[in-house]
Every structure is written in structure tokens, then in C-alpha cells.
Structure 1
Amino acid sequence: MGPTSLVDFILQPPVFHPVLPYMTTIFGGLTHGKMVLMQGMVFVEAERFQVDFQCGCSLMPRSDIAIHFNPRFRSRPHIICNTLQNGHWLEETKFPQLPLRRGEAFQLLFLFGQEEVQPFDASRTEYPVAHPMQLNSSKLAVPYSHPLPHGLAARDTITVRALVCPEPEGFTLSLREDPSHILLRLSTCFRSRALVWSSYPDEAAGHSGKVTTYFPFHPQRFFELLLVCAEGSFKLALNGIPLGQYDVPWLAWDLVTELRIEGDITLYSVLS
């Protein structure tokens, strides 16, 4: 099922070095499939810390807390999870295994399902660990070129995480056979509010199409774009929302040797 409104595309920008205690609004609420990534360092002398996903920010009366995640580092380290409802804590759940360590960096990923939430730490292997994003990295300056010396193949993926500039005109992602020959290009134009893909099987012909009737990009809004290679086609997803499959039977993925990104965005990570 495709997206039903613009709110389905909302992905909040990363917050770097927040001052604790830290509170922020989650745009669109915690819907099924949403993820929250947290990276930090546990103090050497830490006794505990907590992450609360709550319904508002009222102090009197206190807002309900849907999920209270509370690692404790005393003589027997453990994790407490609970829910606060109408000012009263419900029956807590205790997890005796605490993978977090005093004085060590950590990465936590909260995945929200229909009726449950699953926290994952960086040491777990059954769930793919999100890669850290970089702030103001000279290696990710735009225009950006990412070499693909071995080409691409079916099932290969490219993930781009970026922040749209305050007054954007547009940006493009292009897959190239060489610097002068573009094989596939995704173009975003803020003036016409269009996201369009174009492919060029040869110098004399080209094919293009609109990706979605929505225009899901906004100034100063963070996004994650996923491109999946398939046999004779490619698939797109934006902020975890599938945008569909697009046929390009003339495109030979093994000829792609370069990913180039240009335009009015700030890159945080490019994975392939």
C-alpha cells in the first residue's frame, strides 16, 4: 500500500549534541514502522538514564508515558521498561541483560510495531545496525561523487541520507557509466514540485516518468532515500515508504561506475 498523505513521508532531521534533559516533538506520532536512532556515551560514574516516549509535555498533571526505557548500572545492571497511565505506573518489566557499559559509546535503535516496541543495541546481529551519520564532513561535500568500481547488480542498494537546504531549487542523483554518460537520474525540482526519474539507454534516446503524485521534500527537512536495483527495473523508497517499481529493461547495472549527487542538500551519509 502506498502513502496516503504527506505526513507518511515525514522523517525528522538528526539532532547533534543535545543538552540533557532533552525533549522534542515526534512529527506524525509513533506510527507502525517508525524508528528512532540514538547514539551516545554512558558516563563512567553513571547509575542510570532513561528514554521516555510520552503523550505530550504536561507536568501538572503529568503526561502519560507510553514507553519508559530505563537502563540501570548498579551492582546488577539491568533494564526496566514500564508505562505511566493517568499518573500511575503499570507493572514493570525487568530485563536482566544490559549490553550497555559504563564509559562506553552505544547505539540504540527503537523499532515501533503495531502493538510492541523493539530496542536493539549495536552488538545485536539479528537486526541491521544503522550507520552513524556525519556532521559537516568534507568527504560528503556537494557536488559529491561516489565511485562504484565493481558496478551494481540486482538486489544492490544505495541509501542517501541528507538535509534539504533552507531555500532549495532542486537536487539530482545520477548513476553514470563515466563522468559524461548518465544512465539513470533522479531529479527533484522545488519550483515545479516534481520528483522525476530519467534514463538514457543511448545518446539519442531517453525515457522519463514522474515518481509520485506527491512532492514529499521540504526545505530544512531531513530525508532518507533508498534505491534498490532489480533485474530490468529499480525500486525507490523515501523515509521507509515505498514509492514503487520502475522498469528500465535497457539498463545494465554492471555498467554503472559512479554515483553523483548535486544540488541544494547537505549530505549525512551515502551507503552502497
Structure 2
Amino acid sequence: MAMAVRRRVSEPMIPYIGTIHGGLNPGEIVVIHGTVSRDADRFQVDFQCGSSITPRADVAFHFNPRFKGSGQIVCNTLQDEKWGWEEITYKMPFEKGKQFKITFLILSDKFQVCLNDKHILLYKHRINLERVNTLAIYDKNEFRSIEFVSVVPSQGLQPLSLGAVLNNGEIKENPTIAQLVLPYVGRLHNPLGPGRTVVVKGEVNQKAKSFKIDLKPSDSNIIALHLNPRIKSQVFVRNSYLYESWGEEERGLPDFPFSPGMYFEMIIYCGSHEYKVAVNGVHILDYKHRFKNLSEIKVLEINGNIQLLDVRSW
């Protein structure tokens, strides 16, 4: 998928109250760049239903970092000039004097918020998304830009032609419908090789323990690439199953990229010497090929505690 900035506001005057042209739609992204002032007390980003002051417009999503004490992020909704219950994140990821990039991903049922490409919180819609048409930013800080980003389908992407896995293990091909049920077994349109890409989109279950994504040769128990995020222990295991045994696990990562309830898009790119894996547009790891016959890798298997939303390869 490609990203297209449909509108950019540079160096907005604060307080900023601006119309969201075309409204907010699932899959779109709002990105705010700025710097937290050294004497910051708080600031807020509000996704509003209009810009009325008297009576005050409803606020679908009030995002409010507060810096007193150890700091916290307060999220809430204003309806009929009354605040609802606060949802509070007590871990304060913002730092005074430091630059930030806040990414608001709009989903059909919630906002998903990242700071500097790291997931920080989810906020479920309490007001119909169709009513949101205004973005407001209040309180002092240096804000450099606001970007409204649309996701543009890439040309030439083909969903995997999947079918159900039969009891005898035979894959029944279905060229028209991809069955997004778990366990999921699909056959790539083209064998893996340098330049090939596989994309898996899903949502992590609220009480998830783990999930796995495996790339395999056909008619074999070999696993060329085993990706196994373990949400409960926050470990991302990578490995290969060759010669009837598992190899040495790779576990190291600066940051674990998954959280319960979050939407993710995992991109697996096959290079000449290694796989490159990105989550939600951020490169997180490389994994050198242990199974060298890349042209034999034709099967993708997915299972675990996620809701599978889309699988594509090209």
C-alpha cells in the first residue's frame, strides 16, 4: 500500500482549529510533528464534531498528555458539553524539549495512536466517526506540521488464492475467494525469491498470547521462516525448522511492536540474502536465509490469537 498526503498544514498557529476536508475515514492517518516545550504543563489534540464554542462542539477523541508529576495521557469524549469517563495511560512517552511525531490511525471502531512510530494506546469510538470534521490543537508547544494521509492501494497486488485445508492435509485451491480463517494456509501465486513481498494485515486479540506466520516449501514440514510474536511475554521469536529440528532462535529487538487490540500490517520482503520485516511501516528486523532454495517456498501458514484481515503477495 502507498501513502498519499492529501493535505499538509505547515507551522500551524496554536490554538489551531481546522476543518478536516472530506472528514475522517477508516484507514486514513493524521500525523502531527512538533517539539514539547521545556516548560510544558499539558497539551491536547481534539477530533471534534464542528468548531462551535457556545455551545461547545462535541469532541469524539480528546488526546491530552499531562506532564505534572510522573506524567500521564488522558483520553476522553465530550458529548452535550459533558465529559465521559477518562481513559488514562500512566506511562508518559513524551519528553520535554524533545521532538515528537504523533500518528493517529483511524480504524472503523477505534483510534490507534503511535508516538515516534511506537504504539502507545487505543481509543474506541464513542461518537460516530462520520460526525468528525474538525481537528483542534490547544496549549503551548512548537507544532511544525499536520498531515492528513490517505492510504492508496498499490497497483498489481494480488490476494493469495486460498482454500480450506482438508483433513488429509491437501490444499484445495480457490482462485476467487481468500478464506481468512485460522489456521490459514495459502499458496503463493509465485514462488518466493529476491524482490518478492508478502503482506499480512490483522488485529491482535485483546487477550492474545501469541501468533505465528510461517513460510514453507510445498509438501514439506520444513519452515523456511517462522515469525512468532509472543504478546504476553513481549518477545518476537524468529527461527527455521530444517532437518527435523528447530535452529537457534533469534529474539533480540529494541522494541516489541505489538499490543493487545492493535491493528497491524506486517510486510515480509525477501532479499537475496535475508528477509526484511516491517510492522506498520517501520522496519524492525532482518533474518538471514537459512533455507536457501527460495524458489521452493510456495506456502504461507498463519495461526494464533489474531483476527486475520488481509493477505497479499506480489
TM-score class, shorter: 0.5 to 0.7
Partner of 1:247: 288
Structure in which a larger fraction of residues adopt strand: 2
Q: How many angstroms does 1:149 deviate by?
A: 5.4
- The answer to whether the 8 Å contact 1:13/1:163 transfers is no
Change (3 A) 1:120 1:179: same
> Matched residues in 2 for 1:223 and 1:11: separation?
13
1:217 aligns with 2:258: yes
SS of corresponding position for 2:113: coil
Offset of residue 11 of structure 1: 7.4
Instruction: Indicate whether 1:191 and 2:277 are aligned.
Output: no
Determine the C-alpha separation between the residues in 2 that align with 1:55 and 1:26.
Answer: 18
Alignment of 1:57-96 (within 5 A): none
Cα distance in 1 for partners of 2:105, 2:156 equals: 16
Matched, 1:230 2:268: no
1:210 counterpart SS class: coil
3-state DSSP of counterpart to 1:139: coil
- Which of 145, 169, 193 lines up with 2:185 in the alignment? 145
CA distance in 1, matches of 2:280, 2:135: 23
What is the distance in 1 between the residues matched to 2:187 and 2:263? 24
| Stretches of structure 1 lacking an aligned partner (at least 5 in a row) | 17-23, 33-48, 59-65, 67-113
Distance in 2 of aligned mates of 1:119 and 1:216: 22
Shift of 1:165: 1.0
Contact persistence 1:172–1:187 (CA under 8 A): yes
Q: Partner of 1:14 in structure 2?
A: 107
Is 1:173 equivalent to 2:213 in the alignment?
yes
Deviation at 1:191, TM superposition (A): 2.9
Q: Which letter does structure 1 place at the counterpart of 2:113?
A: F
Which residue of the other structure, out of 113, 119, 137, is the alignment partner of 1:27? Answer: 113
Counterpart of 1:55 in structure 2 is: 136
Shift of 1:205: 5.8
For structure 2, the residue ranges without an aligned partner over 5 or more in a row are 1-92, 95-99, 118-129, 160-176
8 Å CA contact 1:140–1:269 kept in 2: the answer is: yes
Separation (CA, whole Å) in 2 of partners of 1:25 and 1:223: 13
Provide the TM-score with structure 1 as the length reference.
0.54
Could you list the per-position Cα deviations for residues 3-57 of structure 1 after superposition, in whole angstroms to 9, with x for gaps in the alignment? xx799897747306xxxxxxx756247x79xxxxxxxxxxxxxxxx99856135x
1:160 to 200, 221, 234: 200
TM-score, normalised to structure 2, is 0.48
Aligned-residue CA RMSD (Å): 4.1
Q: Distance in 2 between matches of 1:247 and 1:204?
A: 18
Residues 90-109 of structure 1 mapped to structure 2, 5 A cutoff: none
Distance (whole Å) between structure 2 residues aligned to residue 53 and residue 237 of structure 1: 32
Q: Percent identity?
A: 22
Q: Number of paired residues?
A: 182
Q: Is the 8 A contact 2:204 2:305 kept in 1?
A: yes
Query: Aligned partner of 1:209: which letter?
Result: E
